Amino acid sequence: MTSTIKTDTFVFQTYLRQGKAFVRGEGTTLIDEDGTEFTDFLAGISVCNLGHCHPDITRAIERQARRLVHVSNLFYTAPQADLAAALVEKSFADRVFFSNSGAEANEAAIKLARRYFQSKGNKNRYKIITMKQSFHGRTMATLSATGQDKIKEGFAPLLDGFIHVPFNDIDALKKVLDDTVCAVMMEPIQGEGGIIPADPEYLAQVRALCNETATLLIFDEIQTGMGRCGTLFAHEQYGVTPDIMTLAKALANGIPIGAMLATQDAAAGFDFGSHGSTFGGTPLATAAALEVVNIIADQNFLDGVVEKGKYFREQLIELKKKHPRIVDVRGRGLLVGMEIDKDAGFFVANCFKKGFIINGIQDKVLRFAPPLIIEKIQIDKLVAVLDSLF
C-alpha cells in the first residue's frame, strides 16, 4: 500500500492533499517518493521560513536531542531561558509563555486578557473584539475568535463573548468598544483571510482607542512573524506595538512551538498555576527556535526579505498589466497574495504539475509564502509559469 492510499484510508479526511508523499526537503526544494522535485513557494504555510532542513537548525536539534529533550515546566532549562530572553530583547515584550501551536498561543492570549481584568475584580470586562475574515485557530476559543463563518459550521455553541467587526474600519470598532471589552485581537496582515494588510492609519487608531479605554491589544503574528513580512514582526513596520503578541509557525522552522509575549503589566494577569502546558517550550523546540531567531533577526537577512518581496510583487504587478483577470497584488515582504477573478484551484493544480508549490485561499487568492531564502531566479521561473496559465 502506498503512503497516499494508507493516508487516505487511515487518517481522518480533514485535509485535501495533493500529489505523492514527500520524502525529503532541502532549502527551497521538496522531493517526493518518485524523486520529483518541487520548488516550494509555501514553506509549509509560512513555517519553514529558513527552508527545509536548514543545516544550522538541524545541528541545533541534533545537539539538543542528544542532551535533553523534555523535563516539564516544573524545572528550569537553558534553551527555554535563552529563547525567552532573546524574544524579549528583540520585541516590545517583557515576558513569554510557551505553547506548542498557534491556536494554543492564542488560547493563552484570550485567557490572559480575560484574567487580567478578572484578577483585578472586574468580572464584566470579558469580551474580545476580533476582525471579520480573521483566522486565529481551530480550538473552540480560537474558532470563536475567528471571523469566518464557513469553518465554524457544526460546532455550535461556540464560546461566548466574541464580537466581530469589519477589518480596517475604525468606526465599526468604536461602536462596539465599551467597558465590557477586555481586548481587541487582530492580525496586522490577515493571512488566511486573503493577505490583507491593515491600513497604517487604522492600526494607529486602534492602538490609540485601546489606550484611551485601557483595553488590551493583541496582535496575532503567527503567520506574519519571524521575518515573513520583512521585519522580525510585521507590526514593527507600522510603528504600533501591542500589549500581547502570539507567535508559532516559523518560530522553530518546523518543530512545533508557540509563544505568547506580553508586557509586564499584561503578564500580571497570570500567576502561579493560572495556565500551563506539558510540552510548551521543551528544550528541543526552544533550542531550534533560538537558532531561528538568531538567524532571522539579522538585519541583512531581513533586508534581503524586503528586497526579494518587492521584486516578487513588481513581477506580479507586471503580470497584472498583461492579464486583466488579475485583480490585485498585495502583501508585505515575502507574504504575497495575488487575487484573480478565476478559481485559485486551477493555478494551484497547474503550478504543482509544473513543479511549484503554491496555495489558494478564499477561493480566488493565490498565496505565496516561500522560504525566505528563495532566490530571484526562482521567483522569475514561477512568474513565467503563472504567466503561461492565463
Residue 184 bridge partners (DSSP): 129, 217
Interface with ligand PLP, residue 135, by CB under 6 A? yes
365's enclosing H/E stretch is strand 365-368
Q: Which of 25, 27, 191, 360 binds ligand PLP (CB under 6 A)?
A: 191
Residue 26 bridge partners (DSSP): 29
Taking CB atoms, the residue at the shortest distance from ligand PLP is 102
Q: In this structure, are residues 227 and 49 in contact, taking their beta carbons and an 8 Å threshold?
A: yes
Angle (CA) 75-80-82 rounded to 5° is: 125
What strand order describes the sheet that includes 162-165?
95-99, 258-262, 244-247, 216-220, 181-186, 127-131, 162-165
Question: Binding to ligand PLP (CB under 6 A): which residues in 38-97?
Answer: 45
Catalytic status, residue 249: yes
Phi-psi region at 136: left, alpha or beta (left = phi > 0; alpha = psi -120 to 50):
alpha
Closest distance of CB 386 from ligand PLP, Å: 23
Closest distance of CB 108 from ligand PLP, Å: 12
Closest distance of CB 247 from ligand PLP, Å: 10
- Residue 80 or 101: the one with the smaller Cβ distance to ligand PLP is 101
Q: Which of 38, 41, 97, 135 is catalytic?
A: 135
Interface with ligand PLP, residue 192, by CB under 6 A? yes
Q: Is 334 helix (H, G, I), strand (E, B) or coil?
A: coil
Interface with ligand PLP, residue 304, by CB under 6 A? no
Question: Binding to ligand PLP (CB under 6 A): which residues in 212-231?
Answer: 220, 222-223
Distance, CA of 293 to CA of 88 (rounded, Å): 11
Interface with ligand PLP, residue 101, by CB under 6 A? yes
Buried b (16+ CB within 10 A) or exposed e, 322-355: eeeebebbbbbbbbbbbbbebebeebbeebeeee
Taking CB under 6 A as the binding criterion, the range among 27-35, 58-66, 107-115, 184-192 that sits at the site for ligand PLP is: 184-192
Q: Which of 136, 235, 313, 364 binds ligand PLP (CB under 6 A)?
A: 136
Q: Which of 127, 249, 308, 320 is catalytic?
A: 249
Helix axes 55-67, 283-296, angle to 10 degrees: 150
- Residue 125 or 164: the one with the smaller Cβ distance to ligand PLP is 164
Map residues 365-384 to x or -, x wherever contact with ligand PLP holds by CB under 6 A.
--------------------
Distance, CA of 200 to CA of 237 (rounded, Å): 9
Cα→Cα distances 39→25, 94, 215, 355, 358, Å? 10, 39, 44, 6, 9
- Residue 117 or 167: the one with the smaller Cβ distance to ligand PLP is 167
Question: Binding to ligand PLP (CB under 6 A): which residues in 319-358?
Answer: none
Interface with ligand PLP, residue 193, by CB under 6 A? no
Taking CB under 6 A as the binding criterion, the range among 26-34, 63-71, 99-107, 325-333 that sits at the site for ligand PLP is: 99-107
Taking CB under 6 A as the binding criterion, the range among 19-27, 112-120, 187-195, 206-214 that sits at the site for ligand PLP is: 187-195
Angle (CA) 171-242-289 rounded to 5° is: 140
Catalytic status, residue 6: no
Question: Binding to ligand PLP (CB under 6 A): which residues in 241-270?
Answer: 248
Q: How many residues bind ligand PLP (CB under 6 A)?
A: 15
Q: Which of 103, 184, 292, 326 binds ligand PLP (CB under 6 A)?
A: 103
Distance of CA 181 to the CA centre of its chain: 25
Q: Which of 107, 187, 236, 243 binds ligand PLP (CB under 6 A)?
A: 187
Taking CB under 6 A as the binding criterion, the range among 4-12, 21-29, 129-137, 375-383 that sits at the site for ligand PLP is: 129-137
Interface with ligand PLP, residue 189, by CB under 6 A? no
Distance of CA 78 to the CA centre of its chain: 26
130's enclosing H/E stretch is strand 127-131
Catalytic status, residue 135: yes
Would you tell me how many other CB atoms lie within 10 Å of the CB of residue 295? 18
Active site residues: 135, 220, 249
- Which residues lie near ligand PLP (CB under 6 A)? 45, 101-103, 106, 135-137, 187, 191-192, 220, 222-223, 248
